[in-house]
Structure 1
Amino acid sequence: MARATSRRTVLSAAVAVAAGAGTLSAATPALPQPSGAGALDRGRDHQVDLRLWTSFLDWHRGTAAGVRTVPGRRPAVAIARPVGTVDHTDPHTGRTETWEYATWESPVHRCRVPATELIPSWNADTPPGTWLQVELRAAYSDSTESPWLVMGRWAAGDEDVRRASVDGQRDGRASVWTDTLAIDDPASGLWIEGYRLRLTLYRRPGTRATPTVRRLGAMASAVPDRFTVPAAPPRHARELAVPRYSQNTHRGRYPQYDNGGEAWCSPTSSQMVIEFWGRRPTAQQLAWVQPDLDDPQVCHAARFTFDHQYEGCGNWAFNAAYAATYREMNAVVTRLSSLTDLERLIRVGIPVITSQSFLAGELTGAGYGTAGHLMAVIGFTPDGEVIAHDPAAPDNEAVRRVYRRREFEDVWLRTKRYDAKGKVTSGTGGVCYLYWPDRINGAQRRVLTSLGVR
């Protein structure tokens, strides 16, 4: 199972209060209060606002300092002329190095929902000698805003800096839990009204190398508290030809990456879907893997999704960023509202990686319980049952599972559940990864667009 689960559990509890947030700056426009302001309307359906910056106009409208907008089929931002240098000490290597940097800052995005969580994601290339940092600044419904909060220090490789989240960031209203900014006490009626994102692009002084960021965004959500969800009637039957990989065939391998394969559900699921789209690591990229190991690309995915602060491979944003390092691939972290949305994606040929938690016995046929686990949904039977490639299987052949629709629906979409001790804890509320290539058909593009993905 994914080690990510312990942090998902604590998202349901209030955390310690740190220094109070400052007042909203004059440069940040006042954000309109959502209709029905006050306490969140817990009776509403699933609420998600996915905002992505991807177009030339998106990048042009941001505030750039030393950054240029790169035109073309995949518009991006890159370093033009650094605005300065900074000495950065990597806490995971102890090395202090000097880096040139440039920044890009998004306009304020006003959330379409009164959000209690924000999860960013990005797609970028970071050639050797470069890396990037993603920060977020939230505006709250009490007219305060957070400080800039680091949501990830990231590079596709791990030779220059260690890919890592940043612990201990809180402002008395919300806290960063690895890849998620969450309101500490949603019952208080406080919510996130809007946010800005900031990119800092780094390179070694005197070089012309640059990170290139093609997609940046965040998913704001306010999912109603619920132990169960309404049933969505079956609509479409289809099964996609997704490769099968078991995380458990890698038990004990490369224990420096979260104790080996037993915790690699997220990168294993990512690798299955990446290869469905015809992408995989080259022989040169896999040269570091012990040559007699089967499925070395799963080891590769674990290494290059590993979060050195969290000490696990389950960082949602890092998995999406890894998928997008492959040729002409795109990836986001979002939430879906129902199995109907998931069926629509399967119908047009897009598999979905879902995150869920459940007790043994809550998902018939799984044979285990978990506080958090990733699997790839690859189809639906004619009766509407869920076909998943579950990496927790003992071997590749056993990865394909058929799960009961109503059981899967609840364990994936609920936000509250009981753990083995009978204590109320959190569920992931429909979180998923979506990966797709640049060249897709019209039906696929229409479904993605309807879900806010572009």
Structure 2
Amino acid sequence: MPRPTSRRTVLAAAAALAVSAGAGAGEGTAAAAPPSAPGPEPLVENAFWASYADWRAGTGRGTLAVPGARPALVIGTPAGTTDYRDPHTGTVTTWEYATWTGPAHRSRVPATELIASWNATAPAGTWLQIELRGRYADGTDTPWYVMGRWTAADGDGDIRRTSVDGQGDGRSGVWTDTLAVDDAAGGTRIVSYRLRLTLHRRPGSGLTPTVYRIGAMASAVPDRFTVPASVPGPARELTVPRYSQHTHLGQYPEYDNGGEAWCSPTSSQMIVEYWGRGPTAAELAWVNPDFADPQICHAARFSYDHQYGGCGNWPFSAAYAATYRDLSAAVTRLGSLTEAETLVRAGIPLITSQSFREEELTGAGYGTAGHLMTLIGFTADGDVIANDPASPDNPAVRRVYRRAEWETVWLRTKRYNAAGRVVSGTGGVCYVYWPAEPSAAQRRALRSVGLL
């Protein structure tokens, strides 16, 4: 399970007890709309760049914006070459590169945390570096923080997919995949930011990564041990494949050994297959033929973060899903199960991150410092139907959890662990995957939670 308690979540010292997510449209496609009704200020905003106009609005050095049904950013004429020493292999390799720097985006949420996510293909011989630079309320800037070095490949000539530890300026820092301010209670906030992409390829190869979408979630979720209960909506259950992570225990120690560590790739693969995508037989040929559900091994391998030492990097999981044909993906936070119901009613399941003691989630049969599962529906009473990969086998994966318990363990930001110590919760983090050309109903639902 991907989030040990040492993975810090820094939270705002706000008084509000509800989260309200922003919705996107404005600066290109990269700003949140105001709340639809009076209420607390929004605590989550998603901003993204994905249109041809968005790519042209940035500053490029060697990149090319490509129009079409799904506009993209690619390497045109490289800006130069650079040497990269891979910290996980020790190999020094020369790469051609090109850069794109997005326009400054002022968030409607003065943020304590930011998480970037991206949709791209980066085949063998190519890779991306994703960076974010924030501006504090006093007008000073953070460094350019590396939010990930990512590729869809892992051959001998490729870099190792990695987060970057040890980044900070004394006021904020990066914790694997999350940029967090150090003193949220003291009022430190990041009020605007820019994103930068560096696209790399083997010199003279003519290859290129292709970036379809880049964005970030800015949030300032308040400290809270409990959350208000939401009112149940109509029942609906989506037919999502069921896979257990525990049937893979001991498989591929180089990708964190299966079992307990593979909740994120197992959940991702369930939803990738729900949308009718998945690896080909040729792509699965590397997996031991004695292993059932080899596609779970594949998802673990290609979302593995070599610095983190596991498959729990949130943006890497989303990026893995978006390598499949015409799928989009993002990491965000939702504010209630009502918002999750909006997605499910439109046919969109989601992957949620939560932590709890065994007695806090009736029927789970385990406790966890961090776990991913898929939310696939709601009963007539409003209880949560989840495909929980922490199950002994595939038939046992479908679970029904009590609504109030589930909502609390997902949305809270503080909790007591089994030793009675106060530790962090994720504050509603989830991954959402959807077709690049969603239906009208899906578009409305995605827009309502800030993802379009």
Q: Shorter-chain TM-score: which interval?
A: over 0.9
Give 1:135's aligned amino acid: E
Give 1:145's aligned amino acid: D
| Corresponding residue number in structure 2 for 1:265 | 263
2:138 aligned with 1:142: yes
Per the TM alignment, residue 10 of structure 1 is displaced from its structure 2 partner at its CA by 5.9
Q: Residues 323-362 of structure 1 correspond to what in structure 2 (within 5 A)?
A: 323-362=321-360
Q: Contact between 2:5 and 2:424, CA under 8 Å: does it hold in 1?
A: no
Give 2:70's aligned amino acid: R
Q: Distance in 2 between matches of 1:360 and 1:342?
A: 23
Q: Distance in 2 between matches of 1:46 and 1:250?
A: 41
2:248 aligned with 1:250: yes
Query: What is the TM-score when the length of structure 2 is the normalising length?
Result: 0.92
Give 1:111's aligned amino acid: S
Per the TM alignment, residue 5 of structure 1 is displaced from its structure 2 partner at its CA by 2.7
Distance 1:414 1:44, change over 3 A: farther
| Corresponding residue number in structure 2 for 1:86 | 82
Per the TM alignment, residue 12 of structure 1 is displaced from its structure 2 partner at its CA by 6.4
2:48 aligned with 1:48: no
Q: Which of 399, 424, 432 pairs up with 1:401?
A: 399
Q: Distance in 2 between matches of 1:452 and 1:72?
A: 24
| Corresponding residue number in structure 2 for 1:217 | 215
| Corresponding residue number in structure 2 for 1:194 | 192
Q: State the SS of the aligned residue for 1:171.
A: coil
Q: Distance in 2 between matches of 1:168 and 1:45?
A: 33
2:100 aligned with 1:101: no
Give 1:151's aligned amino acid: M
Q: Which of 107, 111, 132 pairs up with 2:107?
A: 111
> Unpaired runs of 5+ in structure 2?
13-38
Q: Distance in 2 between matches of 1:7 and 1:316?
A: 16
Q: Which of 213, 226, 233 pairs up with 1:235?
A: 233
Q: Contact between 1:236 and 1:344, CA under 8 Å: does it hold in 2?
A: no
User: Any idea what the Cα deviations from partners look like across 1:87-112, whole Å, max 9, x if unmatched?
Assistant: 11101011111000000000001010
Q: Distance in 2 between matches of 1:92 and 1:426?
A: 30
Per the TM alignment, residue 439 of structure 1 is displaced from its structure 2 partner at its CA by 3.1
2:47 aligned with 1:57: no
Per the TM alignment, residue 45 of structure 1 is displaced from its structure 2 partner at its CA by 6.4
Q: Distance in 2 between matches of 1:120 and 1:345?
A: 21
Q: Contact between 1:107 and 1:196, CA under 8 Å: does it hold in 2?
A: yes
Distance 1:319 1:407, change over 3 A: same
> Unpaired runs of 5+ in structure 1?
14-42
User: Any idea what the Cα deviations from partners look like across 1:168-219, whole Å, max 9, x if unmatched?
Assistant: 0011111100000001110011111010000000001111100010000000
Q: Contact between 2:244 and 2:394, CA under 8 Å: does it hold in 1?
A: yes
Per the TM alignment, residue 157 of structure 1 is displaced from its structure 2 partner at its CA by 1.1
Q: Which of 120, 130, 133 pairs up with 2:129?
A: 133
| Corresponding residue number in structure 2 for 1:208 | 206
Q: Contact between 1:65 and 1:103, CA under 8 Å: does it hold in 2?
A: yes
Q: Contact between 1:269 and 1:374, CA under 8 Å: does it hold in 2?
A: yes
User: Any idea what the Cα deviations from partners look like across 1:314-352, whole Å, max 9, x if unmatched?
Assistant: 000000000000011100000111110001111111001
Distance 1:59 1:10, change over 3 A: closer
Q: Which of 300, 303, 318 pairs up with 2:301?
A: 303
Query: What is the TM-score when the length of structure 1 is the normalising length?
Result: 0.92
Q: State the SS of the aligned residue for 2:205.
A: coil
Q: Contact between 2:9 and 2:426, CA under 8 Å: does it hold in 1?
A: no
Q: Which of 389, 392, 406 pairs up with 2:390?
A: 392
CA RMSD of aligned residues (A): 1.4
Q: State the SS of the aligned residue for 1:344.
A: helix
Q: Contact between 1:415 and 1:427, CA under 8 Å: does it hold in 2?
A: yes
Q: State the SS of the aligned residue for 1:5.
A: coil
Q: Distance in 2 between matches of 1:241 and 1:373?
A: 22
Q: State the SS of the aligned residue for 1:361.
A: helix
Q: Distance in 1 between matches of 2:371 and 2:41?
A: 24
Per the TM alignment, residue 224 of structure 1 is displaced from its structure 2 partner at its CA by 1.4
